[in-house]
Amino acid sequence: MSIRSGEIHAILGENGAGKSTLMKIIYGVIKPDTGQIIWQNKELAIKGPAHARQLGIGMVFQHFSLFESLTVAENIALSLPEENFPSLSELSKKIIAISQQYGMELDPDRHIYSLSVGEQQRVEIVRCLLQNISLLILDEPTSVLTPVEVDNLFKILRLLASQGCSILFISHKLSEVQALCDNATILRAGKITGTCEPKNTTTENIARMMVADDSAISHSYPRAQGKAIVLQVERLNYQASAAFAIPLTDISFEVRAGEIFGIAGVAGNGQAELLKLLTGEFIDHSDAIIYKGKRLGCLPPSERRRQGIATVPEERLGRSAVPGMTLAENNLLTGYTKGLSNRGWLNWQTIRRHTDEILQSCKVKSSGSQAQARSLSGGNLQKFIIGREISQQPDLLICSHPTWGVDIGAANLIRDELIALRDAGKAILVISEDIDELYQMCDRLCAICHGHLSPVGNTDDISINLLGQWMTGEFNAIEAVTELADSHA
Amino acid sequence: MLRLEARRHDSTLMALVSPLIATALTLVAGSILFSLLGHSPGRALYTFFIAPLSDLYGWTELGVKVAPLMLCAAGLNMCYQAKVWNIGAEGQLVIGALAGGYVGLMFPDTQTHWMLVPVLGFGILGGMAWAGLAAWLKTRFNTNEILTTIMMNYIALYGLLYAVHGPLKDPNGYNFPESAQFSEFVTLPVLFPDYRINISILFGLFALAASWIVLNRTLPGFQMRVLGQDQSAAAFAGFNQNRIVWSVMLVSGGLAGLAGICEVAGSIGQLVPQISPGYGYTAIIVVFLGRMSPIGIFFASILLGITYLGGEMVQMNFNLPKSITGLFQGMLLFFLLASDILIHYRILPANRASRVHS
């Protein structure tokens, strides 16, 4: 593959296709076994990230490398070679100049922990720009941003490109690639499977190059109408006790039987706390959670499970599953409440058989019920975890980011399972950052921001713009947008 | 020259081979040590490891040493499975001996072997109470159990010293710091006449077997293992962490207490200032050498039991200090911890290319 100057080039592929590996090779983190990299007409071996930066290659990783307790300027100073900054105040001026030039507001004296994720990303970008780079690599930069922040990022990237800086944009979100990129290279299982001009190629064709099998790329599901209320949350309040926990204020919503209820929001806005209050890991002092007409109070997690509340948390390894334990043991982890243990005695034969059934029905690729959880790929492990929870025949299933970091095939299967559960008349609550997914599956939607919940509406009545505004905390935006929609109509 | 590279998967083979490597390295280091002290390493090692087991007496004495090791290690293993780092088996053993011994001494005139039941019972309760104190501090105040249990070992030891120098001293004992001898009715039955080995070895084997069943065939044992491997998964699954901490501490305290009362009501026969040659500490080595599995612990306690006998043998035959036992036990743990790095890493020549440079 080759990249021209001033080009915005997308690297597309499923999880595990080799996108990040390829970028790490270009940035000098990993050495290639064979092959050549030609940089500005010279073949060279990139010795490491420092060397890459010297050459003018900058990279913004998916997970930022910033020190929370230091200021913006201090963080940037740490990564610069000494001769590039005479003093912090000098550097601050430079930061302000650059950030204004590209329309990125950034206060060099603020501490990282006080910045939003989007602002932290700007710090990373400014850090690269300060070194006069001619190639900027961005590894899934939009996965942590709200729609508005994504728009801003795209503006910045377009400006950069117009000044001659090449950009490598790694993503698996096709719509973004089509909106932003001039060219795209598609990877599958470590090989280039195609190139295209995204603006002139249909989503289906690009997706076809990304996934191997000819399975339907994206399903659309009919919406459903919820029936009886299963879970009701009435003015839930939660005072954060841990240092970085988010307090929740006056959260009210209900989830009905036979519907999927979605809560959108950028991670770290109180979703984790809400989830733990629902599962009973945190004690809800406001006693605001009503399940099947009864207040749950401080009922422990095991009792809530027995009453039919199943949960799929966000972290697959290290919460949903114990990495070093077998799938059979991980099945028992939550299955003990639903008949997998006989008065405290364990019959491993039964547990293994039950586990094999889950592996089969959810098409989990593994070496069997004795495989360690950590040996499974993310998608397969998630299929197993969802299968485990559904096998317990819950009346309410709570899922957090059910298809996060999962390849398209597995994601489709997981969504099918959830829809089937919905159509069987069960209540499902989905908490996610993935807006496409929420629009695809949910019957009703709302958003969470800073521990506050937005108004709730039917998915088909909520525009992406409105949801985006809700996600950034503008809850009264509802009228404005509907009026806008009306005037358009 | 050589360098370490992280393995993709932990090596199960190395987890089993590592204790053997450690034992071999201990033997090598031991022979260097003996030759530096001016003894033929071959003869010294023979005296240390083989000679003690050359007759029936040696084997029965091994049983005497192994019983408390098994009891303590069976309990500690449960704690360590849950990553509750109870270092206090020694103190729990001493308090068990003191509590059970006290009950035995209060009724010198009993004429029935049933008296053993309350004596052993109070031994167990004593150990449980001592461990329970640490469990309470941990669950209530979030104290570090490593520190509290170590400190409580010393408190227990001084409690015993106070007892044998004061209230429990034998009035007819010529002012020696010892209690009166237990009556034959509060002495554990021996397995063979004329040998010291008694039924405590059966308790030890039973404890090991029971701990295997609990850990592998019951939900509470499963919960202990989950808590040890992944705290947030345990919280997600709704396992009550405090209850698990209490259970493993009480069980291991009870077993250590039983080991203590079996020592004094068995091979010693009275309360003396030194009840245990560090069984509670050695049991920690036993658990790790035995790979935290009851079967491995069975073999490891035999090996560590031999170091006690061997230490006594070389003391007698070579005039070396008894601390040679501690030296060998220490070397074994040291080499074991060092060899365990091979479970997670492998050794490669430095010039071989690695997969990932960073």
**Residues of A with CB below 8 A from B244's CB?**
none
**pLDDT tens per residue, range A388-446:** 999 999 999 999 989 877 777 888 889 999 999 999 999 999 998 777 888 889 999 99
Interchain CB distance below 8 Å, B232 and A311: no
pLDDT value of position A383: 92
Of residues A29, A318, A325, nearest to B358 (C-beta): A29
Q: Give the pLDDT confidence score for residue A477 in this predicted structure.
A: 59
Nearest CB to B226 within list A31, A322, A375: A322
B236 to A48: CB separation less than 8 angstroms, yes or no: no
What pLDDT score does A43 carry?
87
Interface check B225 vs A, CB under 8 A: yes
Q: According to the model, what pLDDT value does residue A306 have? A: 93
- Cα–Cα distance measured from residue B243 to residue B222, given in angstroms and rounded to the nearest whole number: 14
A300 by DSSP, 3-state: which?
coil
Per-residue pLDDT band for A480 (boundaries 50, 70, 90) equals: very low
> With 80 as the cut, is the pLDDT of residue B304 above it?
yes
Distance from CA of A382 to the nearest CA of B (A): 15
* B151 in any annotated domain: yes
Residue B239: pLDDT above 60?
yes
Q: How large is the average pLDDT for residues B241-248?
A: 96
The pLDDT confidence band at residue A214, using thresholds 50, 70 and 90, is very low
* pLDDT score of A49 more than 60: yes
For A12-41, what is the mean pLDDT?
83
In a domain, B143, yes or no: yes
Q: How far apart, in whole angstroms, are the C-alpha atoms of residue A198 and residue B18? A: 56
Q: Please check whether residue B152 lies inside any domain of the structure.
A: yes
Cβ proximity of B315 and B71 under 8 Å: no
**Model confidence over B32-52: pLDDT tens digits?**
999 998 889 999 999 999 999
Any CB–CB contact under 8 A between B278 and chain A?
no
Residue B25: pLDDT band by 50, 70, 90 thresholds?
A: very high
Q: How many domains does chain B have?
A: 1
Counting residues of chain B whose pLDDT is more than 90, the rounded percentage is 77
User: What's the pLDDT at A119?
Assistant: 82
Work out the average pLDDT over A265-271. 80
Retrieve residue A16's tokens: 């595990």
B344 at the A interface (CB within 8 A)? no
Supply the pLDDT for residue A218. 55
Q: How far is B25 from chain A (nearest CA, A)?
A: 30
The amino acid occupying position B280 is G
CB contact under 8 A, B217 and A337: no
**A280 neighbourhood in chain B, CB within 8 Å:** 238
Cβ contacts of B222 on chain A, cutoff 8 Å: 329, 332, 336, 346
Helical H segments across chain B, by residue range: 12-36, 41-45, 56-81, 89-106, 116-141, 145-165, 200-217, 219-229, 231-237, 241-263, 279-289, 294-318, 324-339, 341-344
Q: Using CA atoms, how far apart are residues A396 and A393, in angstroms rounded to an integer?
A: 9
pLDDT at B356: 43
Provide the mean pLDDT of chain B: 92
Average pLDDT over residues A243-262: 88
Segment B173-201 mean pLDDT: 91
Closest CA to B258 of B237, B242, B276: B276
- In this model, does residue A234 exceed pLDDT 80? yes
Q: What is the pLDDT of residue A242?
A: 60
B53-68 tens-digit pLDDT:
999 999 999 999 999 9
A13-17, A75-79, A272-276: least confident range: A13-17
Give domain status of residue B338, yes or no.
Answer: no
| pLDDT tens, residue by residue, A274-302 | 999 999 988 888 889 999 999 998 899 99
The yes-or-no verdict on residue A487 having pLDDT over 50 is no
Q: Provide the pLDDT for residue A259.
A: 95
What is the CB-side half-sphere exposure of residue A250 using CA atoms within 13 A? 3
pLDDT digits (tens, 9 = 90+) for A332-354: 999 999 888 888 999 999 999 99
- Cβ <8 Å between A345 and B222: no
CB of B140 less than 8 A from some CB of A: no
| CA A60/CA A133 separation, integer angstroms | 12
Residue A219 has pLDDT above 70, yes or no: no
CATH number at residue B112: 1.10.3470
Question: Position B338: which residue type?
Answer: A
Chain A contact for B352, CB < 8 A?
A: no
Provide the token pair at A280.
Answer: 């009973």
Q: Is the pLDDT of residue A142 over 60?
A: yes
Give residue-wise pLDDT tens across range A162-205: 988 999 998 767 778 888 899 999 887 788 888 888 888 877 77
ipTM here:
0.86
> Distance between CA atoms of A1 and A3, rounded to whole angstroms?
7
Minimum distance, in Å, between the CA of residue B325 and any CA atom of chain A: 36
pLDDT score, position A244: 59
Cα B34 from Cα A395, distance rounded (Å): 71
B125-129 average pLDDT score: 98
pLDDT band at B31 (very low <50, low <70, confident <90, very high): very high
Would residue B127 count as lying in a domain? yes
CB neighbour class for B109 (10 Å; exposed up to 12, middle 13-18, buried from 19): exposed
pLDDT of A486 above 70: no
Mean pLDDT (whole number) for B336-346: 88
Record the pTM: 0.76
Q: How far is the alpha carbon of B29 from chain A, nearest alpha carbon, in Å?
A: 35
Which residue matches tokens 């492990």?
A: A381
Task: Give the model's pLDDT for residue A228.
Answer: 92
Is the pLDDT at A482 greater than 70? The verdict is no
B238 to chain A, any CB pair closer than 8 A? The answer is yes
pLDDT in tens, A114-134: 787 778 888 888 888 888 888
- The pLDDT of residue A24: 86
Interchain CB distance below 8 Å, B356 and A281:
no
Angle at B58 between CA B56 and CA B60, to 5 degrees: 70
The pLDDT value recorded for residue A215 is 46
Residue A110: per-residue pLDDT? 87
Cα nearest neighbour of B217 on chain A: A346
The angle, 0 to 180 degrees and rounded to 10, between the axes of the packed helices A348-361 and A378-391 is 110
In a domain, B218, yes or no: yes
Q: Does residue B34 lie in a domain region?
A: no
Question: Residue B358's pLDDT band (boundaries 50, 70, 90)?
Answer: very low
- Please give, rounded to a whole number of angstroms, the shortest distance from the CA of B231 to a CA of chain A: 8
Tokens 């043991």, located at residue: A329
Report the alpha-carbon distance of residue A15 to residue A60 in Å, rounded: 18
Sequence-separated (6 or more) residues with CB below 8 Å from residue A213: A409
pLDDT at A16 (0 to 100): 63
Residue B222, domain extent: 57-319
* pLDDT for the residue A85: 65
- The yes-or-no verdict on residue A232 having pLDDT over 90 is yes
Query: What is the per-residue pLDDT across B61-109, written as a single tens digit (0 to 9) for each?
Result: 999 999 999 999 999 999 999 999 999 999 999 999 999 999 999 988 8
Least confident of A5-19, B96-110, B124-138: A5-19
The pLDDT mean for chain A works out to 85
Residue A84 scores a pLDDT above 90: no
Contact A268, A294 (CB under 8 A): no
Q: Give the model's pLDDT for residue A216.
A: 46
Identify all chain A residues contacting B356, using CB atoms and an 8 Å cutoff. Answer: 30
pLDDT of residue A449: 85
Task: Nearest by CB to B230, from A29, A322, A332: name it.
Answer: A322
Q: What is the pLDDT averaged over residues A445-454? A: 91
Q: For residue range A406-421, what is the model confidence (pLDDT) as tens digits?
A: 777 888 889 999 999 9
- Residue B355 in this model has a pLDDT that exceeds 80: no
Whether B27 maps to a domain, the answer reads: no
